[in-house]
Amino acid sequence: MTAAKAIRRMAAAAGVFAGCLAHAGPAAADEAFVTNQQSDDVSVVDLDTATVVATIPVGGKPAGVVVSADGARAYVSSPEGKYVTVIDAAARSVVGRIDVGGGPVGIVLSPDDRRLFVADWYNNRILAIDTATLKVAGTVPVGRAPAGMAVTPDGSLLVSCDRDDDRLSFIDTRTLAVVGTATVGTHPFAVTLSPDGATAYVANVMSDDMSVVDVAARKETARVPTGDTPYGVALSGGLGFVTDQHADTVTVFDIKTLEVVKTVDTPAFPEGIAAARDGRKVWVASWNDDLLFSLDTATLSVVDEIPVGTSPRAFGNFIRRTD
């Protein structure tokens, strides 16, 4: 860690202490469920007070995470354990485990929370799981090493990053059939959709750029240059934010013009990223510094730095609404 980052971390710790004093009451706030791969657990972070309020052991080197739209559950993928852990979000307790085999990494829910999709990295398939029964309802063969996924707002289409085939697969969620593909950059790892589901933004970890894809046309329409090894993408307030793992930066671009507006120096090895509901911050996991940190979307500067578990990934939609 650089001296500047160490100073910033000490300042953030002081801010956390002050926040605890200022928020002594029971007011609810949105929370982050951060997967910590090397400590085999999930940190639950109150995003209002910027404090860890619980740590949940899950095992199996957790990586992917998705929180249900109703805030009731969090689902965590463990690639080495070959299972998905089901967490009661309010109780902070494990309530189920789904053995899926292979190497579950990417994980996403349908908008109605009824169907969980899990990308099996090693077996080149996506599993569809019924969240009521926690049973596998079907599987979809896709390209090699599927990683990140996203579902359109109407729930009809699942988009998968087929990393080692340098493409996206488009899957009909009703029939569980691949209905199209799109060639993108080298080794796409994460995908985020625009609020209307019309555009996909894809982080290409080996070509150091982000593909912009027309979902209806199944076609790449533009590329945005990023820093070294882009890992995740979030959208907020007319801006896009891309974590650049090996550059220790976040690339910020204008969604309309696709021009890069700033490259922000961050804690080391930023990975998972998600936007706060109020649009004022985006939250990012720092793998090397064992932090969850935030970027102010107005000033484009690092604000909070919260110590979590060891080697946080937070790959997926890790923010839980509590109201």
| Least confident interval from 19-23, 68-72, 295-299 | 19-23
Residue 300 has pLDDT above 70, yes or no: yes
Task: Give backbone dihedrals phi and psi of 150, rounded to 5 degrees, phi first.
Answer: -150, 150
Per-residue pLDDT, 9: 40
pLDDT tens digit sequence for 255-291: 999 999 999 999 999 999 999 999 999 999 999 999 9
**Is residue 270 in some structural domain?**
yes
Per-residue pLDDT, 322: 87
Q: Could you give the strand order of the β-sheet that contains 291-296, starting from the edge strand earlier in sequence? A: 270-275, 281-286, 291-296, 301-307
DSSP reduced 3-state for 29: coil
**Is residue 217 in some structural domain?**
no
Tell me if 205 sits within 8 A of 187, measured CB to CB.
Answer: yes
273 sits in the region (left: phi over 0; alpha: psi -120 to 50; else beta) called: beta
CB proximity list for 290: less than 8 A, separation 6 or greater: 36, 307, 308, 309, 310, 311, 312
Q: What is the CATH number of the domain that holds 263?
A: 2.130.10.10
Domain count, the chain: 1
CA 184 to chain centroid, in Å, comes to 20
pLDDT tens digit sequence for 194-253: 999 999 999 999 999 999 999 999 999 999 999 999 999 999 999 999 999 999 999 999
pLDDT tens digit sequence for 34-46: 999 999 999 999 9
What sections of the chain are H helices per DSSP?
Answer: 3-22
**Is residue 279 in some structural domain?**
yes
**Is residue 96 in some structural domain?**
no
Residue 25 has pLDDT above 90, yes or no: no
**Is residue 303 in some structural domain?**
yes
DSSP 28: -
> Residue 268's closest CA among 242, 296, 289?
289
Question: For 315-320, what is the mean pLDDT?
Answer: 98
Model confidence band, residue 323 (pLDDT cutoffs 50, 70, 90): confident
**Is residue 7 in some structural domain?**
yes
Rg (CA), the chain: 18
Task: Give backbone dihedrals phi and psi of 53, rounded to 5 degrees, phi first.
Answer: -105, -10
pLDDT tens digit sequence for 57-111: 999 999 999 999 999 999 999 999 999 999 999 999 999 999 999 999 999 999 9
pTM value is 0.91
- What is the CB neighbour count within 10 angstroms for residue 243? 30
Domain that holds residue 251: 1-20+231-323
Per-residue pLDDT, 7: 39
Tell me if 128 sits within 8 A of 114, measured CB to CB.
Answer: no
